[in-house]
Amino acid sequence: MRHLLAFFALFAALLLIAQELPPKEFLESLRQPLAKDAWGEATGRVIGSRKGKSKLEGNLRLRVSFTTDAMYAQLVLNDKNNYGLELVRGEGGKASQHLDLPEDETAPSLFDFGVRPSDLSFSFLFWDFVEELPRSTSRWQDCRVLKLSSPDGDETVDVWFESDHGFPMEAKWYKKGEKKPWRTLIMKGAKRFENGLWFVKEMQLAGDGWKTAVKFDFAEKTDLP
């Protein structure tokens, strides 16, 4: 019993240390995949609705790979539209990204659902750190809230991270100079694998007059050879 109590005391102390990490160090601890080579893949369904339009449905296949300084994502919608996203971190951790669109995009496109490759690959977590905002709650969980800036500087995102384990809970995107978010994301069933990759069971995106649910039914991860 004494050893068990000592273990829980140590575990609690480690959680406390994690909560008290400076914001940049806290964020870097959540970006662990870029410390080594790893990849993951998932499949799922996407369902979207927009005011005055018919409901959209589709299937998704997502593959994400990391090297020590870059992230690559490939997303296939309805076995037809292929989207590629590359995010590279340069000196000082500053990010740059490149998006490849399908040559012959078939309706519905990914953007018809209000979804971007950076949402599904979580690459927005690697945007440039701006500041830590006051702590808040998301679905009754205590969270640290960090503001990040897109590589092109056109928008920022506020991300709620569960304070004990760093699970991403929700995000709100703001266009440059605006105070009202133009799109929001709620993440449910977040899971972090041993190699640091994040996957969630469900993502709920919403904006002005539209909302979309992404539900993943399978995920696999591994370290690269």
Per residue in 105-134, pLDDT (tens digit) is 999 999 999 999 989 888 898 899 999 999
Predicted local confidence at residue 206, as pLDDT: 97
The predicted-structure confidence for 55-84, as pLDDT tens digits, reads as follows 999 999 998 887 777 888 999 999 999 999
Query: What amino acid occupies position 154?
Result: D
Residue ranges of domains in the chain: 27-223
Residue 186 has what pLDDT?
95
Q: Is the pTM of this model over 0.85?
A: no
- According to DSSP, the residues that pair with 61 across neighbouring strands are 43, 76
pLDDT over threshold 50, residue 225: no
Collapsing DSSP to helix, strand or coil, 150 comes out as coil
- pLDDT of 101: 93
Report which residue type is found at 113: F
Over the Cα atoms of the chain, what is R_g?
Answer: 18
Res. 193 pLDDT band, cuts 50 70 90:
low
pLDDT digits (tens, 9 = 90+) for 147-163: 999 989 999 999 999 88
CATH class, domain 27-223, is: mainly beta
Mean pLDDT of 189-200: 66
**Strand 56-66 to strand 38-50: parallel, antiparallel, or no bridges (unpaired)?**
antiparallel
pLDDT at 71: 84
pLDDT tens sequence across 208-219: 999 999 998 866
Q: Is the pLDDT of residue 195 over 80?
A: no
